[in-house]
Amino acid sequence: MDNCIFCQIVAGDIPSRTVYEDDDVLAFLDVNPLAPGHTLVIPKDHHETLTELPEDEGDAVFSALHRLAPAVEVAVDAPASTVAFNNGEAAGQEVPHVHGHIVPRFDDDGGRPIHALVSDQPELHDDELDDIAAAIAEER
Ligand SMILES: [Zn+2]
């Protein structure tokens, strides 16, 4: 995709601080880091969301995340990290090319856990939860 900033990084048309590369995956420092070492892991092929990402490329992305998260933590002396995807525009995805974030976390960083993503948590009853679980199991 010519107008995709991440495809331009993959093509070498835009410079990046690359930390990992293989046939399917590229990882580089986020230009707008939330913490020192904030790293993005992307498939080299253009896919907008995890829904469009073929399973084998998803495997490659996860393998890279799995290998890189501890490397990032060691490199910046972080005791933990948040590993996450903004999957789709409504979730806050700004670049429409799948990317996983590795954000190093520190005890006093003021950051929040995944369970603080929304301010209004829904109250779901047992029958609703049963229906949702069944619907997911049917779709997958
Ligand atoms: Zn792209």
Tell me the per-residue pLDDT of 21-69, one tens digit each, with 9 for 90 and over: 999 999 999 999 999 999 999 999 999 999 999 999 999 999 999 999 9
If you measure from the C-alpha of residue 124 to the centroid of ligand 1, how many angstroms do you get, rounded to a whole number? 37
Summarize the confidence of residues 112-119 as an average pLDDT: 90
104 CA distance to ligand 1 centroid (A)?
25
Amino acid identity, position 101: H
Kindly list the catalytic residues: 99
**Is residue 1 over pLDDT 90?**
no
pTM attached to this predicted model: 0.94
Q: Which token pair is 26? A: 């590229």
